[in-house]
Amino acid sequence: MITVHHLEASRSTRIVWALEELGVPYEIVRYQRDKKTMLAPPELEAIHPLGKSPVITDGDRTIAESGAILEYLVDKYGDGKLVPAKATPAYDLCRYFMHYAEGSLMPYLVMKLVFTRVKSAPMPFFVRPIARRIADGVTAMVVDPNIKRHLAFLGKHLDTHAWMAGDAMTIADIQMSFPIIAATKRAAELGMPASVAKYAAKLEAMPAYQRAVAKAGA
């Protein structure tokens, strides 16, 4: 049986979602973040040397990284589900958004979260104004403009596509769910295209997504 090594409030919820969509039996082993650092506990290093989540074990195999896990699951258990036919435009889009989610979009959302936390982090009073000025400057000059650019790109794409890869849901939608939903929560003030907001709501309304959240957390 597949074991999902699940860290609270992490990307691994989308792995649970994929397993729910595929109807594959699995179990969840839960790990709690350090309350001060919000980092994963060292116990995860026993599963994978980087001590990160998501990671799954399937028999004697250990697979880490969301994209790699999703591709492994559909290759071994999918029987054609959640993946377009190869050598089609939908397949190309699916592969693109599988890489785009973490490679292009997510870094700016992480930067926004980090710089937001920097402004409220404990520090000597005489350092706080400097830290806040730097955080605000980087956010205004680099982070927010790039997030706006990505949101505009996604808005145009979703204006003409029901799903990331076309007319049917694929693993690209599961992969994109984390940054898309995170953007609606963390970056709504930057101007959320209506099609992106509608798409996020559609993802959150999926029965298998709701089951995954109920079992693993949002």
Q: How confident is the model at residue 76 (pLDDT cuts 50, 70, 90)?
A: very high
Give the pLDDT confidence of 12-28 residue by residue, as tens digits.
Answer: 999 999 999 999 999 99
Is residue 160 over pLDDT 90?
Answer: yes
If pLDDT is split at 50, 70 and 90, which confidence band does 8 have?
confident
Sign of CA dihedral 189, 195, 200, 201: positive
**Residue 51 binned pLDDT confidence (cut-offs 50, 70, 90):** confident
Per-residue confidence band for 96, with pLDDT thresholds at 50, 70 and 90: very high
Q: What is the pTM of this model?
A: 0.92
Whether the CB-CB separation of 169 and 17 falls below 8 Å is answered with no
List pLDDT tens digits, range 171-216.
Answer: 999 999 999 999 998 888 889 999 999 999 999 999 999 999 999 9
Q: Give the count of beta carbons closer than 10 Å to the beta carbon of residue 20.
A: 20
Per-residue model confidence (pLDDT) at position 78: 96
Strand order, beta sheet including 2-7: 26-31, 2-7, 55-58, 61-64
Residue 193: the pLDDT is 97
Q: Looking at the DSSP assignment, which residues form a beta bridge with residue 29?
A: 5
Q: Does 56 have pLDDT greater than 90? A: yes
Q: Does position 136 have pLDDT exceeding 90, yes or no?
A: no
